[in-house]
Each structure stands twice: as structure tokens, then as C-alpha cells.
Structure 1
């Protein structure tokens, strides 16, 4: 398997290569690139790899500019510190979206999805990449959370959750019925666990359920003010850098 790594942080690229070769000793890393420009040049003039590992934010811009310039025909594993690009990534041949700092288990999970891709081709005898990508890109996500409170276990279904938030350095579940529950997982862990189609990370403090969104208003400095069907003690704001991505997420529901 020939693999190209597109990552502008040298240490991260080296760490990723080490993990890849530990998991796939037969793999060959045929290229390391740090920018959109050099990635476009390499992919335009050289052979297409069997798999791409790609960061989203590169030295000279977002990696999605590469897809505008080059016809990428291989599956892509996105490795990034930003969760807000997942929808766009899965529209760009993405088979997995790994958040930094990633672990060996995260990369192993990505290779598992790639193997599922290969098995699909072998079983169906087809080269319809988009069909299998659609199949792999629609995980249902976590459906409930198990909480331990007052010496009892309680299950909260995600459909009953309006949003998750961070308050006073703790993570909380806020339900449609106005019940509130503390939870041990971090907001980053919850974001990875739930369905990206159902929940959106508005900012560092809030992860909101699509069903809870009532309306959106323009706010100061090109931000968006998100109002939910239940009252929130704080204003839920989306900054201008994420506003387009958020509106795209809403539109593509």
C-alpha cells in the first residue's frame, strides 16, 4: 500500500508515519508534503497513492483547495485538531476523520475502514467509490449516555438532549425537559461519539442538537447568535470563521 502524508507539522507527520508503519509494515510512505501548493504539484505529476493521510489546515491554506485542483481518486483519512470540517471532509473522499492528538487506536480504526472499503470492492466487483464512501460515512453515532448519580445509574437518550456545554470547568448534559446532568466525558470526547449529522460544535463550550435549534440571527462582528427551543443562561455564538460551515451543516441536513 502506497501512502502519502500531507501534514504541515513535522513532528506530527513523523509520529503518524511511525504509527502507520507499526500497524501496516508492508505500507510504503511515498511522500510527505506540508502545503496545498506542493501537494497539488506532487499529486498532479506523480502517481496517485492508495491512501492519503491529510491535515485540514496546512501551511498555506485549507486542504480542500487540493481537491479543487486535483482529481483525488483514493480514500482520504483526515487528521486535524478542528472538528468543524468533518462534513466537508466526508464530501472529499473521506473515510475517517481523526481528531488530534490522535492515538494508535485512532489510526488503527481508520485502517479498519479502509479495509471495509477494499472488501466492498471485492464483494461487489465495482469501482463506484462514492457509493461505498456514502456507506462508510454515515455512522449513527452514540445513542445514549450512562450516568451515575446519587448512587444510581441513569440512561439519557441523545434525542432527549438539547445540548452539551461546559460550565465551571465541568461538562453538562442539558435536556429538552430542562433537566441537567454532569458527565465525566470531555466535550471533545462527546463530539467524537455522537452523530455529526445530529450534533454540531458551535464553539469550545457548546455542542448542540439540530432538533433544539429554533432560529439563528446575525450578531456583532459577523458572528451568529443561535437560539434554542429551550432557554439558555448564556448566549450561544458561532464565530465568523465557523459561520459558513455551520450554515452549510444546517442546509445539508
Structure 2
């Protein structure tokens, strides 16, 4: 098994690598990276590993910034001194979450969980079913039923059911409603994704988080992308990259 370690604490990274060699002598540590920037560069230019061990707080920011620049479709085991980001970790391909200082037994248990998930995936051959198994082992997080928006010197309450999509632009994050109104948001798209139901909204790309009920049609496009047509106008075309196409179509079909 080829493993990538993203950890800015040198001693912790070395201890993790040493323990992995003891537990899985056949494993290969491809690299040890210490920053968001170096991780993005490595993942964009090197052959992807089978597994990533990733610290949350890195030298130049939080590891979740990596997922904004690189589409990662391999399992991640997060290791950190704090448990504040549990749900965000699981939403970014996390199959486990171990706290520092971690023990060799905790690492072994995480690897066993990875193997269980892989066996299930190979047996069922369904990313959506695997996602349901992962969801079943973590507590559910309450999702918002409405958003309080401050616009034109007044507060407006927008029910989640009236939202067509959220989008990220150069000037900030915006909410678009089913009646064609657009409001600026103070939250990032990542924060909004955590606050809405994954059954009702899908992060189709880095710029758009769309509501299921607003999707009018999905078309095949060049380079195996998908083009989404919504019930409301968008300032740009909304694409699903080919890396997410299968999971997106399964999400659409499992309604």
C-alpha cells in the first residue's frame, strides 16, 4: 500500500511513518509533506497514493484548503490534536479521525476500518452505498431549515426549501432563490455545505452547491463532463467534472 503523509510536525510525522512500517511492513511511504501548498503541488503532479494520513492544522493553513484545489477520491485518515473538525473531516473522504498523541493500536484500528470499507466497496461496487456506511458510523449533524440574510439594511429569512443554489464568485459567496433573487452570504461555500442536508444539496464543483429540486436537466458534455440546467438562470454554465460524474448521478438516482 502506497501512503502519503501530510503533517507539519516532524516528530509526529516520523513516529507515524515508523509505526506504519511496523504495522504494515509492505507499505511504502511516498512522501512526507508539511504544508497546504506543497500538498497541492504534489497531488497535482504525482501518482496518487492508496491512502493519505493528513494533519488538519498545517504550516500554512488548514488541510481542508487542499480539497478546494484538488479533487481527492482516495481515503484519508485525519490525525490532529483537536476534535473540532470531525464532520468536516468525514465530508472530505475521511474514513477515520485519530487524536494526537496517537498510539500504534489506534493506527492499526484505522487501517482495519479502511480494509473493511474497501471490502464492502469491492463487493457492492457502489460509491453511494459506501457513503451510507460511512455516514452510519458518525452522529448526524443538524441541518439548517432557513438562512437569515442581511440585505439592503434589513434582515430577510430565506427558507432552505426556497434556495436553488449557492455559488462562489470572485467577489464572495451568494445564495440564489427559486424566485430568481440573489443575496450575498457571509459564510464560505464550505461552511454552507456543512449546514445543508446532503440529501437535498450536492457540491457539483468548487463554485456551485445546487439543490436537487432545482435541477431541471443533466446533459453529457465534452471531456466526460456533465452540464446541469437549473430552473433559474446562472451567470455561468454549471458543470460536474468527470471525476464527480458517477457519484453525482448516483446521488440523483437514489432519491
TM class by smaller structure: 0.5 to 0.7
Give the number of equivalent residue pairs. 191
Paired with 1:169 and 1:228, the residues of 2 have a C-alpha distance of: 22
Q: Deviations over 1:98-135 (max 9, x none)?
A: 9xxx994534677xx99xxxxxxxxxxxxxxx989526
Matched, 1:13 2:7: yes
What pairs with 1:143-222 in structure 2 (closer than 5 Å)?
143-222=145-224
| Gap change, CA 1:183 and 1:238, over 3 Å in 2 | same
Paired with 2:139 and 2:245, the residues of 1 have a C-alpha distance of: 23
Which residue of structure 2 lines up, in the alignment, with residue 106 of structure 1? 84
Matched, 1:239 2:241: yes
Deviation at 1:140, TM superposition (A): 4.2
Which residue of structure 1 lines up, in the alignment, with residue 67 of structure 2? 82
- Helix, strand or coil for the counterpart of 1:106? coil
Paired with 2:192 and 2:81, the residues of 1 have a C-alpha distance of: 17
The TM-score with structure 2 as length reference comes to 0.55
- Helix, strand or coil for the counterpart of 2:183? strand
Which residue of structure 1 lines up, in the alignment, with residue 48 of structure 2? 61
Which residue of structure 2 lines up, in the alignment, with residue 252 of structure 1? 254
Deviation at 1:224, TM superposition (A): 0.6
Paired with 1:17 and 1:201, the residues of 2 have a C-alpha distance of: 36
Question: Contact 2:71/2:243 (CA < 8 Å) preserved in 1?
Answer: no
The TM-score with structure 1 as length reference comes to 0.55
| Gap change, CA 1:227 and 1:39, over 3 Å in 2 | farther
Paired with 2:247 and 2:151, the residues of 1 have a C-alpha distance of: 36
Deviation at 1:252, TM superposition (A): 3.2
Query: CA-atom RMSD, angstroms?
Result: 4.7
Question: Contact 1:85/1:245 (CA < 8 Å) preserved in 2?
Answer: no
| Gap change, CA 1:32 and 1:213, over 3 Å in 2 | farther
Paired with 1:195 and 1:236, the residues of 2 have a C-alpha distance of: 20
Q: Deviations over 1:22-52 (max 9, x none)?
A: xxxxxx9696659xxx96946xxxxxxxxxx
Which residue of structure 1 lines up, in the alignment, with residue 112 of structure 2? none
Q: Deviations over 1:56-80 (max 9, x none)?
A: x79753648x9xxxxxxxxxx9976
Q: Which runs of no fewer than 5 residues in structure 2 stay unpaired?
A: 28-42, 57-62, 90-96, 99-131
| Gap change, CA 1:175 and 1:131, over 3 Å in 2 | closer
| Gap change, CA 1:146 and 1:220, over 3 Å in 2 | same
Question: Contact 2:174/2:183 (CA < 8 Å) preserved in 1?
Answer: yes
